[in-house]
Amino acid sequence: MVTMETGGVKRMNICVTASGEGLDSEVDPRFGRCSYFVIYDPDTRNVESISNAAAFTSGGTGIKAAEIVANAGVDALLTGTMGPNAFSIFSELGIDVQVGIKGTVREAIRQYEAGELQSIRSPNTTPGSGMRKGNGMGNGMKGSGMGRGIGRGK
């Protein structure tokens, strides 16, 4: 989708971070690690769900996710948290980032259209804060040595 000027009226595309596809999916408040970006065109009511290929990368997740969203031609992004690297990209491109989303994608869009969300002027989280924690495979002193385990097995 591309933002276009038609007859003097700007068409605005809205992106919502989501855990699944479509308007009835639950929102995911994590920007870089969300599963999907749901793009909504309020003029045509067209909905497109884009899988977030950056969600499972080990580094640079926010930047990679921001590139996906920017390439989708959106004007507003609705999410929960935004780190400094991704925020700088959106700020430079003039994409409005709004936070405080809850419920389904459909509800988040309604909140946006009703002016119930807040635009942010700076990142509202630190780099790497959306990383999944606690998934190491260590088992302490008797573990196999993978992840956070010490690996001195007996």
Domain 5-142 CATH class label: alpha beta
Please give the structure tokens belonging to residue 6.
């038609």
Report how far residue 102's alpha carbon sits from residue 1's, in angstroms, rounded to the nearest whole number.
25
Report how far residue 21's alpha carbon sits from residue 135's, in angstroms, rounded to the nearest whole number.
25
Report how far residue 16's alpha carbon sits from residue 97's, in angstroms, rounded to the nearest whole number.
10
With contact defined as beta carbons under 8 Å apart, do 42 and 3 qualify? no
pLDDT at 41 (0 to 100): 96
For the entire predicted model, the pTM comes to 0.75
Report how far residue 118's alpha carbon sits from residue 25's, in angstroms, rounded to the nearest whole number.
21
pLDDT at 45 (0 to 100): 94
With contact defined as beta carbons under 8 Å apart, do 146 and 140 qualify? no
Instruction: Parse the chain into domains and list their residue ranges.
Output: 5-142
pLDDT at 123 (0 to 100): 84
Q: List, run by run, the mean pLDDT of 10-residue segments along the chain (154 residues).
A: 42 92 97 97 96 93 96 95 92 93 95 91 65 42 46 49
With contact defined as beta carbons under 8 Å apart, do 15 and 36 qualify? no
pLDDT at 12 (0 to 100): 86
